[in-house]
Structure 1
């Protein structure tokens, strides 16, 4: 018998303010068509003044707990994937604990930029397999609108804010690919590619948060190859192939990256959950957001085999295979 980390609940939160592409036409040399053609993005959500990453994370957490039929007293640990914390410290996870009145267990943040949720899922899975925890709340939450250069049309039109969360619970499975829960994961990073996607500030350098910088074309080429290879590796670890996949739930960065990865994997777009048109790139929040929306749409059903993959600054990338 094998311990598995099984998804028991999922939820998300999006800020009230919706920003369509047309809004950028007022201040930038860009158009709705230019943005849609190159990214697939039509609109995104921006956090309100005073609305922080921890605020959104707590909203998503409540939704996931309600979906699971659990309360915060049932949770042993909170793991938050984010690159835009409220403060340098303490962690967003501890702020979520306070907001939800969680007085037991522990919480910490994971920072792997857009791949953060994949890293957080893998970390939660390891803790559960080791018997350290039984139930974990895993959250991806970002307020990228606070680190964007509003004069740079190549980056500021791509990102949005939001949060998504899943509740994982330990269950005993047979130890084969028919089990529910996380079946395998595959993680990578390579610091040689730092200049492709980074923020030009920080505590120990500039003393400020800095702004996001990106080399779009080189990053695109790296993304499709690395996402395809990590998805294949994770499937192989689980003893599965592309033909077994019911849904790809990718990081929602760019429709062309999503399409290119699906094509290289031989999976039709009809089996890919796509939300980038409505949310933009919400970094570590994009996968749990897409899982929640995909389930709400009726796309993701119990027993479905899901591959979820992401790449972000670092570069850091990886994939998780799970059965819903």
Structure 2
């Protein structure tokens, strides 16, 4: 018998670093204030010629290399992103062409920071329904810097650019993805959004002057929603598997910011040693946060065979999700 799990992970962050002094200068505040309020020291910025698909393709190549997987063997390619190359076609189709995954069915998921988990659920179920699909690639990629107002204190200091990817395939029974639980609440859709550029408010000279193509965020509403929704997301998976947080070896959340994560962990009774935090040097990279944090945790030796790993995300929409993985070391597909 087999299960479905991660055969390889990979991440890519652009080389340009935007440290707090650079961000603080545009906001006219002390750089120390950014560190104190968020725990972020720096974030990455894509080069002018780089789009979300370029970052996604780099992360995909790293994950494919670790999995010893040829792109031609992929049956499915999913990209979770809030910052696509263009409204159409899908960024996944751009990535498909870049990496040569000519056989893969490719499409995007618009679930914001939860996009990787939505993709994980679809990919696992797709493969389980028909193993002849081979392997799947799930990517989270964001180029938030193109959608930021550098003078907006609610967003400019938080968001970075990056991509993370995972190759899914067969793993031994008793390991792999044990379950994924998802949720949405569209009544909170205005909490974080890009107001213009879609069919409701197409691009016009007025929307451009207004800056309506940039991220808008209701920070007070999010401060309330994030811990409540993290509670809901974690409870869904822990309850389904009759576990408590004490049974979890590593919690890998999406990365709103390090300070928020550590405050949440303290409130929820989660030891910091069980928490994967990468935001100090990357900021919030949205759908890329979880696969990038997984890649870092695996590279740092924080994951051992058989570890129970809990993934969790809260994103615009409002969306949320959690997943339980029994860790199987990435590498060549197990048979």
Quick check: TM above 0.5?
Answer: yes
Corresponding residue number in structure 2 for 1:150:
150
Corresponding residue number in structure 1 for 2:78:
79
Equivalent residue in structure 2 for 1:292, among 292, 295, 300: 295
Question: For the residues of structure 2 that align with 1:187 and 1:88, how far apart are their CA atoms?
Answer: 25
Q: How many residues align?
A: 318
Question: For the residues of structure 2 that align with 1:25 and 1:100, how far apart are their CA atoms?
Answer: 38
Corresponding residue number in structure 2 for 1:62:
61
Q: Does residue 186 in structure 1 map to residue 186 in structure 2?
A: no
Corresponding residue number in structure 1 for 2:206:
none
Q: Contact between 2:18 and 2:44, CA under 8 Å: does it hold in 1?
A: yes
Question: For the residues of structure 2 that align with 1:107 and 1:48, how far apart are their CA atoms?
Answer: 25
What TM-score, normalized to structure 2? 0.91
Q: Contact between 1:232 and 1:242, CA under 8 Å: does it hold in 2?
A: no
Residues 1-324 of structure 1 correspond to what in structure 2 (within 5 A)? 1=1, 3-131=2-130, 133-171=133-171, 173=173, 179-208=174-203, 210-324=213-327
Question: For the residues of structure 2 that align with 1:5 and 1:220, how far apart are their CA atoms?
Answer: 35
Question: For the residues of structure 1 that align with 2:76 and 2:240, how far apart are their CA atoms?
Answer: 27
Question: For the residues of structure 2 that align with 1:14 and 1:233, how far apart are their CA atoms?
Answer: 31
Deviation at 1:241, TM superposition (A): 2.0
Deviation at 1:255, TM superposition (A): 2.1
Deviation at 1:152, TM superposition (A): 0.7
What TM-score, normalized to structure 1? 0.94
Q: Contact between 1:12 and 1:59, CA under 8 Å: does it hold in 2?
A: yes
Q: Secondary structure at the match of 1:5?
A: strand
Question: For the residues of structure 1 that align with 2:109 and 2:216, how far apart are their CA atoms?
Answer: 21
Question: For the residues of structure 2 that align with 1:265 and 1:128, how far apart are their CA atoms?
Answer: 35
Instruction: Please say which of residues 254-263 and 152-161 is displaced more in the overlay.
Output: 254-263
Deviations 1:182-226 (A, max 9, x none): 111111111111222111113212223711011112211111111
Instruction: Please say which of residues 206-215 and 75-84 is displaced more in the overlay.
Output: 206-215
Structure 2: tracts of 5 or more residues without a match: 204-211, 328-335
Distance 1:125 1:265, change over 3 A: farther
Q: Contact between 1:228 and 1:261, CA under 8 Å: does it hold in 2?
A: no
Q: Secondary structure at the match of 1:249?
A: strand
Structure 1: tracts of 5 or more residues without a match: 174-178
Deviations 1:100-126 (A, max 9, x none): 112213111111011111111111111
Question: For the residues of structure 2 that align with 1:123 and 1:261, how far apart are their CA atoms?
Answer: 28
Deviation at 1:270, TM superposition (A): 0.8
